[in-house]
Chains A and B, each alone.
Chain A
């Protein structure tokens, strides 16, 4: 079965620090990849997604992610975090032909002002 691993469970940063959250998936075929953000007390919102083409994907709020097929990875990055980026971040993978994505366990990010 497909799995998604988010290796960083909790990340604490100061404002202006750079961010990279890891995501690895297990499926070897065609895969669509997603990052969602969940601000405290809110629902999951789509940050960005990769289907095909340029492996560097830009999303909202200055986030980007890079798909590296050889490493089965889709890491999320932001060059300079803000206090308002404090949230939980979920990576998800959807294998080709499926309609049920697999979610990682999430990474809690706390940004200190």
Chain B
């Protein structure tokens, strides 16, 4: 599974609180992604990174920010969580040689 871990795996929080999700990889892949998965919407890209401190927005970036200070870590922050951000969040990496994405185990976030 390309050495990807996500933490926490489950989180329940309240509206208005900040939340940070962590994606950690062990294989020095350059590209990392954050997706959210919701019923009826499939996978939607939130943000992605193409190197340390190099990030860009995806299709559903409003309300989210990211940071990548080290190759192995890609953080997703919800500055002030809302109920609409209740979702399952997946991190992914892209292997350089085969242009293939591999996904982490996911984080189930519930915002009450």
Contacts and interface: CB of A to CB of B under 8 A. Distances in A.
Interface string A80-113: 0000000000101010000111011110000000
B58 to A, nearest CB: 8
B48 to A, nearest CB: 7
A100 B98 CA distance: 13
Main SS class of interface, B? strand
A108 B55 CA distance: 32
B48 A49 contact: no
Contacts of B102: 46
Q: How large is the interface on B (under 10, 10 to 19, 20 to 34, 35 or more residues)?
A: 20 to 34
Q: Which of A49, A103, A105 has the most CB of B within 10 A?
A: A103
B21 to A, nearest CB: 14
A51 B31 CA distance: 19
Interface of A: 32, 34, 36, 42-46, 49, 51, 90, 92, 94, 99-101, 103-106
A43 B43 contact: no
A100 B41 contact: no
Contacts of B40: 105
A100 B42 CA distance: 15
A99 B50 contact: yes
Given A32-B99, A34-B100, A99-B50, A44 B42 contact: no
B101 interface: yes
B99 A94 contact: yes
Contacts of B98: 49, 51
Interface in B45-78: 45, 48, 50, 58
